Amino acid sequence: MKQKRIVKVKGEGYLKVGIVFFFLMFLLTNFVFSARVQSSNADLQRLKSRIESQEKLNLGMQMKINELASLDNALEVADTFGLEYNNSNIRVISE
């Protein structure tokens, strides 16, 4: 039996090297982009955590403002300093 001879085309070696090169570049860019996405996700998580802590702080301050602005507190402060509580002198400031 006669064996078939494999014929090599002139640019076959360059083609193989090019395919391997592009495959390696694809893997490298995929790795770099996934690292950037992971870094962005970590930054996003940190920002969300800071926002949540600031919202909790704001809620606590709002509760303290409501407590200080209550009628009972106003009467108590007026009694402490010997003042009269006159409802007609109160002005409401709104945004």
Listed by start position, the domains of the chain span 12-89
- What percent of the chain shows pLDDT beyond 90? 54
Question: Does pLDDT of 93 surpass 80?
Answer: no
Taking the C-alpha atoms of residue 22 and residue 38, their distance in angstroms, rounded to an integer, is 24
User: Residue 94 is which amino acid?
Assistant: S
Instruction: Write out the H or E segment, with its range, that includes residue 56.
Output: helix 12-68
User: In the chain, what is the greatest distance between 2 CA atoms, to the nearest angstrom?
Assistant: 122
Structure confidence by residue, pLDDT tens digits, 19-32:
999 999 999 999 99
* pTM reported for the whole predicted model: 0.56
Query: Mean pLDDT across the stretch 51-62?
Result: 96
Taking the C-alpha atoms of residue 80 and residue 64, their distance in angstroms, rounded to an integer, is 20
Match 């694809």 to its residue by tokens: 26
